Amino acid sequence: MNVYKVGLDIGSTTTKMVVLDKDGTTVLFSGYKRHQAKIQECLLGFLYQIKEQLGDIPLSFHITGSVGMGISEKCSLPFVQEVVAATNYVCREHPHTATMIDIGGEDAKVVFFQDGQATDLRMNGNCAGGTGAFIDQMAILLGVSIDELNELALRSNQVYSIASRCGVFCKTDIQNLIAKNISKENIAASIFHAVAVQTTVTLARGCNIVAPVLLCGGPLTFIPALRKAFANYLNLSQDTDFILPEKGNLIPAWGAALAENNEESIHLSNLIPNLTVKENIETGAYLSEHPLDIDEILKTLGLWEHRNKIPNQLSGGQQQRTAIGRAVVKNPDILLCDEPTGALDYNTSKEILKLIEEVNQKFGCTVILVTHNDAIRHMADQVVRLRDGQIRSIDETAVKIPAAELEW
């Protein structure tokens, strides 16, 4: 079975995901999004996109990032330290790199390489000075967006010394510049210059940053003025001394996907084994703009007493009910049921058919049910017979039989 490799990088402000082919050479899917502290919703959105684009493929996960460890523990998925993940990528894709500079949401790292191997690492402490969060705060102080801050800086003609190690001191410095009627263009350039100084002088702590320098992380990927500030301060050429990967904002996620194979794989259509019944149904709700009430669905499907159990604590029928709940909670206009009773015994099959009937009547969604069980046709309004991929007949049901009264 071909298992596709997934790297998931959950940082303080953004979530990144990369899906590689079974050989780990081609990116089949990538996603980057600010999660606004709604991490589960963000992840489910990515998984929904993967299923839409690639189908119900088996996925093998590795997780990294400053927030990723908690998700890793909850879902029993392997965790890769962020620097190790990024180093995996650099050594494989850009082995001639001498220095890697990674500016993240609330952290910044400088990794030094020699002969294709990482030899030293420098990383910021608890303070977010000189990171993406610092840049966000300074943009808010100037009353502009990040894109506008970038455009302002690119039009500057002078930079001023401001503190980047502490947002409080930096705010004071910027307010002093504003009071002196210094242009927003030059203040914006000074902010990016301060980040470059913080990384080079304070973070690298005397180690020489030599070319070729690989730049990664969201700020360095998406803000040209920040790259220009680094080039100017380091006296390097952006064209010849910098390596800017096409997906530089995804490097730790990409590197996590390259980690040693995780033998366990997950199909997106299956219940998530480490989430409870209620949490599994919630995954469907996150993918809908107008989800149905989760507690009402749990009670309708007879799962309320089992809502805190995980899938391996459920019977086959209860697992099927949970899968139905996950589909129904999205409040779909059409519910597709492909052989919903295929692997169930007679009594459990009858229970599932009664539930599908109740869902149709209570929530008003059209149900298209695919089955080889001829008896089930009697509960339908319309029956379409197929053979060899061709429609053979379409019949209206004159007298329907309730699911509870079906026999076969």
CATH code, domain carrying 75: 3.30.420.40
Reported as a pLDDT band with limits 50, 70 and 90, residue 9 is very high
Domain that holds residue 149: 95-244
Does residue 257 contact residue 5 with C-beta atoms inside 8 Å? yes
Dist CA 18 CA 32 (whole Å):
9
Does residue 229 contact residue 220 with C-beta atoms inside 8 Å? no
Reported as a pLDDT band with limits 50, 70 and 90, residue 1 is low
Tell whether 66 is covered by a domain.
Answer: yes
Return all residues near 182 (Cβ < 8 A) that are at least 6 apart: 160
- Asked whether residue 208 falls in the same domain as residue 110, the answer is yes
Q: Which CATH number is 373's domain given?
A: 3.40.50.300
**pLDDT higher for 388 or 348?**
388
Kindly state the average pLDDT of the residues 105-122: 89
- Asked whether residue 369 falls in the same domain as residue 235, the answer is no
DSSP 344-407: S-HHHHHHHHHHHHHHHHHH--EEEEE-S-GGGGGG-SEEEEEETTEEEEEEE-SS---GGG--
- Asked whether residue 105 falls in the same domain as residue 235, the answer is yes
* Locus of tokens 């099959």: 349
* Furthest CA-CA distance within the chain: 87
- Asked whether residue 108 falls in the same domain as residue 159, the answer is yes
Dist CA 88 CA 63 (whole Å):
14
Reported as a pLDDT band with limits 50, 70 and 90, residue 149 is very high
Kindly state the average pLDDT of the residues 174-193: 93
- Asked whether residue 234 falls in the same domain as residue 354, the answer is no
- Asked whether residue 289 falls in the same domain as residue 385, the answer is yes
- pLDDT of residue 138 exceeding 60, the answer is yes
Dist CA 172 CA 272 (whole Å):
49
Tell whether 249 is covered by a domain.
Answer: no
- Asked whether residue 386 falls in the same domain as residue 288, the answer is yes
- Confidence at residue 277, expressed as pLDDT on a 0 to 100 scale: 92
Dist CA 325 CA 343 (whole Å):
18
DSSP 186: H
Instruction: Give me the number of domains the chain comprises.
Output: 3
- Asked whether residue 173 falls in the same domain as residue 261, the answer is no
Tell whether 88 is covered by a domain.
Answer: no
Tell whether 90 is covered by a domain.
Answer: no
pLDDT in tens, 303-323: 999 999 988 899 888 888 898
Dist CA 32 CA 16 (whole Å):
5
- Asked whether residue 20 falls in the same domain as residue 100, the answer is no
- Asked whether residue 220 falls in the same domain as residue 118, the answer is yes
- Asked whether residue 238 falls in the same domain as residue 311, the answer is no
Whether the link from the prior residue into 402 is cis, omega within 30° of 0, is: no
Reported as a pLDDT band with limits 50, 70 and 90, residue 159 is very high
| β-sheet bridge partners, residue 213 | 99, 242
Helices (H) and strands (E) in the chain, counts: 14, 14
Tell whether 30 is covered by a domain.
Answer: yes
- pLDDT of residue 263 exceeding 70, the answer is no
Entry pTM = 0.73
DSSP 200: I
- Asked whether residue 116 falls in the same domain as residue 228, the answer is yes
Q: Which amino acid is at 245?
A: P
